[in-house]
Amino acid sequence: MNAEKFISVFEMFKVAVGPSSSHTLGPWRAAQMCMEPFIANGTIDEIQAIQVLLYGSLAKTGKGHGTDMAVLMGLLGEDPITIDTKLLIPKVNAIKSTKELLIGGKKLIPFNYEQDILFLKDKLLPHHPNALQFVIHLAEKAKTFTYYSIGGGFVESEADLFEYEKLNSKHALNLIQIDVPFNFTTTAELLHWCIKTGLPISEIVKENEKTLLSEIELDTQLASIWNVMQDCVFNGCHTEGILPGGLQVRRRAFDLNKQLLKGATYENIEQWKDLIKKGGTDFKYILDWVSCFALAVNEENASFGRVVTAPTNGAAGVIPAVLFYAILFCDKNNPDAIRRFLLTASAVGTLFKYGATISAAMGGCQAEIGVSSAMAAAALTELLGGNQKQSLMAAEIAMEHHLGLTCDPVGGLVQIPCIERNTMGAIKAITAAQLALQSKPDFALVSLDKVINTMWNTALDMSVKYKETADGGLAIQIPIALAEC
């Protein structure tokens, strides 16, 4: 496999802080990347001042998505995996009030929030709508570092882009450079390896991952990813109140959880899951729980909570909701099933990243909820006994019925319509899996590759106002200003 082409499952599923992988996690990582060489070279003391320039979608919906908060945390040297999320807003407020920034945790510089973070809403950089620059002022000169947050927390630097363009590479630059046994960037290539080896999709991905990690390490890290997802669902179901940002959106997972459990008491997450499972298999009951799981995750995401990109923050609720469905209502509560689900989902996510995009700023919400629904559908199909072709057919069905879905966040916040869309994506994934399990893929006229290509062409044709700008759709029907962090 060519060095730049391998996307690990841990690139698809990254621990992040809400509310957006492209607008929060990506800029956070870009700020860390910008500081890294100064810290490594021992030259951070030479920095006198820093300005942050946000372009395009990052400028238009950045405040509602916490982009300003993210770049400040990255410049401080904080990490989204380990930071106490309760301290995010206090840390930002301290920077605003003191007008000082401790970059890399080492050098205190003057920093005026109002003047040193610029939201350039009417300007774009050529490579991607999610662009940001750090202007680093040294003693005698200034240097500008340019980054692009290309969706799902993936980041490209302009310096690396220049080098890769000379090699005619079209793939993300921060992907792991390693040869793996089963090279696939299209559905046809993935299916080729499945047929040749007889392995399910999850095993194909597993063998590729074992090039990087031992099987024990792989299992441990996958379990860790699932634990973060699971904790996010549980926390979201047990937190009430109003979401931040000014829309006055009330959390619903708390009330729905309480209503469905009819006042039952429990002491931990395992007891909670047992109670849910004992509630029966009535269709309405299951439907309500799947919605509750998805709502819980994305309410946590909207509250600057810790989530897992799946493949993005805005679509983070779909995969946990469907996996909870498999565990609690399909008798798949075992570590092997959870690992297989995540591995298969990852494979489908990489197909969309290679063939189209997972960035709403590039492709609208079809690139987020649509992709997550396709990922979940394929993974659920494999867990329920479907073969490789049926799993890929399920992904195709799920995406086919998300084609053209726009990204139109009200107030620039990942709340309306984003939270509810996760419930829809989860339900569509389950329906797609059931359809595929009852179908013969050899008779299907539409392949997953064709749907991925169609999604990309649709993205290219879609008006920019429907691509995470808050300039169209529902966003202009609700008369409010963009929310402050």
Q: What is the pLDDT of residues 250-295, one digit of tens each?
A: 999 999 999 999 989 999 999 999 999 999 999 999 999 999 999 9
Chain mean pLDDT for the chain: 92
Cα 443-445-447 angle, rounded to 5 deg? 105
Quote the pTM value: 0.91
107-110/306-308 β-pairing: unpaired
Query: How far apart are alpha carbons 169 and 152 in whole angstroms?
Result: 19
Query: How far apart are alpha carbons 185 and 292 in whole angstroms?
Result: 34
Closest CA to 158 of 129, 135, 136, 125: 125
The domain limits of the chain are 19-159, 187-476
* Other CB atoms within 10 A of residue 458 CB: 18
Q: State CA 460 to chain mean position distance.
A: 21
Q: Which tokens hold the place of 323?
A: 């996996």
What is residue 213's predicted lDDT score, i.e. its pLDDT? 96
The predicted-structure confidence for 28-67, as pLDDT tens digits, reads as follows: 999 999 999 999 999 999 999 999 999 999 999 898 899 9
Q: State CA 429 to chain mean position distance.
A: 17
Query: How far apart are alpha carbons 67 and 419 in whole angstroms?
Result: 19
Using CA atoms of 148, 150, 156, 159 in order, give the dihedral in degrees to the nearest 10.
-40
Using CA atoms of 305, 309, 312, 317 in order, give the dihedral in degrees to the nearest 10.
-70
Helix axes 215-237, 283-302, angle to 10 degrees: 90
* Fold type of domain 19-159: 60s Ribosomal Protein L30; Chain: A; (3.30.1330)
Query: How far apart are alpha carbons 306 and 298 in whole angstroms?
Result: 10
Helix axes 318-329, 269-278, angle to 10 degrees: 60
What is residue 26's predicted lDDT score, i.e. its pLDDT? 94
Average pLDDT over residues 361-376: 97
What is residue 161's predicted lDDT score, i.e. its pLDDT? 59
What is residue 160's predicted lDDT score, i.e. its pLDDT? 67
Q: What is the H or E stretch that residue 362 is in?
A: helix 360-363
Torsion-angle region of 468 (φ positive above 0: left; ψ -120 to 50: alpha; else: beta): left
The predicted-structure confidence for 337-358, as pLDDT tens digits, reads as follows: 999 999 999 999 999 999 999 9
Residue 195: C-alpha distances to residues 58, 189, 191, 209, 211 (Å): 43, 10, 6, 19, 21
User: CB neighbours of 429 closer than 8 A, spacing ≥ 6?
Assistant: 318, 322, 372, 373, 374, 375, 376, 377, 380, 394, 398
Class of residue 115 by CB neighbours under 10 A (exposed 0-12, middle 13-18, buried 19+): exposed
